[in-house]
Amino acid sequence: MRLLDRRIAVAPMLDWTDRHCRFFLRLLTRRTLLYTEMATTGAVLRGNPERLLAYDPAEHPLALQLGGSDPAELARSARVAAEFDYDEVNLNVGCPSDRVQSGRFGACLMAEPDLVAAGVAAMRAVVALPVTVKTRIGIDDRDSYEALVDFIGRVASGGCEVFIIHARKAWLRGLSPRENREIPPLRHDVVYRLKRDFPGLTIILNGGLTTLEQIADSLPGVDGVMIGRAAYENPYLLAEMDRRFFGSSAPSPSRRQVIEGFLPYVEAQMRRGTPLQAMTRHVLGLFQGIPGARAWRRYLSEHVHRRGAGVEVLAAALRQIPNVA
């Protein structure tokens, strides 16, 4: 079992952090912990696990996020995760979508802490991997600090030692998943307080962190931070992580170097039948905030769907940016 450094992580994001995205992000940072999109226990156990769970070894350290609530199915799914050599199994207790709720997993499980604890215990009984929980600070009217402490305490009794806390409550009715990421106010103070009250647990802060300065300011109060949309919309943010937070002496990769490192992967995946756009969509934000970013995005968007398009499209898109480094 690999020892995980949890100071910096990229959040599991449905439809975003697929294997192509993760390989791309790994070209920017070697040390940041990456998470898969959520995979339901039903898909893991009754679908095609090779298609769902396969990844490039370069993606390590890598955690699999599971969605489910049945302890027996969670345990079986955790075994599959171990067979695929993931570094961690994470249970989703934070997603508020109607589809997730109908399957009795995600944020609605905050109302059933004993069931979550049973799921954690069942997974820990069958694998040596760390079993972690990603959750919110509350749901609906169950949003008092006392309710959160009760939830954390009960789940910890099942053997969970690592909690990733999205510092917003979730409304299970009336708000879309996107609105639940934006409308409920951020309460970083709640997460800091939780760390003070549970010093023996590993507490990771998630939500609203978009700059290196915010991350640095947050770390003294928690054991680590998890970055979400900022890592996807402005991925070059990750290029400084290894030097700033993990003590690496290696120079940060340039944007050009990242794309040049991505090209062999794109070629190999296309030979296996992966559409070019399935990979290039993840690199659209690489030049965010610098001259030529719009031309980069436009060129890729206009050319990746053309018949016969290949890696030369990425090379040509680079030429749209003046003095690209």
pLDDT in tens, 260-288: 999 999 999 999 999 999 999 999 999 99
- Residue 160 annotated in active site: no
Report the alpha-carbon distance of residue 40 to residue 103 in Å, rounded: 9
Q: Indicate if 108 and 62 belong to the same structural domain.
A: yes
Q: Give the CATH number of the domain where residue 284 resides.
A: 1.20.120.1460
Q: Indicate if 136 and 235 belong to the same structural domain.
A: yes
Question: Is 101's pLDDT higher than 80?
Answer: no
Question: Is 100's pLDDT higher than 70?
Answer: no
Would residue 272 be called left, alpha or beta, if left means φ above 0 and alpha means ψ between -120 and 50 degrees?
A: alpha
Q: Indicate if 222 and 268 belong to the same structural domain.
A: no
Q: Give the CATH number of the domain where residue 39 resides.
A: 3.20.20.70
Question: Is 96's pLDDT higher than 90?
Answer: no
Q: Which amino acid is at 61?
A: P
Domain residues for 263?
A: 255-318
Domain membership flag for residue 106: yes
Question: Is 174's pLDDT higher than 80?
Answer: no
Q: Indicate if 40 and 157 belong to the same structural domain.
A: yes
Question: Is 182's pLDDT higher than 70?
Answer: yes
Do the Cβ atoms of 3 and 68 come closer than 8 Å? no
Length of the chain: 325
Prediction pTM value: 0.95
Question: Is 49's pLDDT higher than 80?
Answer: yes
**Domain end call among 245, 268, 302:** 245
Domain membership flag for residue 182: yes
Q: In whole angstroms, how large is the CA radius of gyration of the chain?
A: 20
Domain membership flag for residue 3: no
Q: Indicate if 241 and 282 belong to the same structural domain.
A: no
Q: Indicate if 218 and 125 belong to the same structural domain.
A: yes
Q: How many CB atoms lie within 10 A of CB 306?
A: 10
Q: Indicate if 290 and 235 belong to the same structural domain.
A: no
Do the Cβ atoms of 205 and 191 come closer than 8 Å? yes
Q: Indicate if 93 and 33 belong to the same structural domain.
A: yes
Residue with tokens 């893991």, as numbered in its chain: 44
Domain membership flag for residue 99: yes
Report the alpha-carbon distance of residue 11 to residue 25 in Å, rounded: 12
Q: Indicate if 281 and 166 belong to the same structural domain.
A: no
Domain membership flag for residue 325: no
Q: Is 248 exposed, middle or buried (0-12, 13-18, 19+ CB in 10 A)?
A: middle
**Domain end call among 245, 277, 300:** 245
Q: How many CB atoms lie within 10 A of CB 125?
A: 12
Structure token pair of residue 238: 């990750």
Long-range CB contacts (< 8 A, 24+ apart) of 141-144? 142/110, 142/111, 143/169
Q: Indicate if 168 and 25 belong to the same structural domain.
A: yes
Going through 208-271 in order, the beta strands assigned E by DSSP cover 224-227
Domain membership flag for residue 2: no
Residue with tokens 């898909």, as numbered in its chain: 43
Q: Indicate if 212 and 311 belong to the same structural domain.
A: no
Would residue 238 be called left, alpha or beta, if left means φ above 0 and alpha means ψ between -120 and 50 degrees?
A: alpha
- How many domains is the chain built from? 2
Domain membership flag for residue 323: no
Q: Indicate if 228 and 297 belong to the same structural domain.
A: no
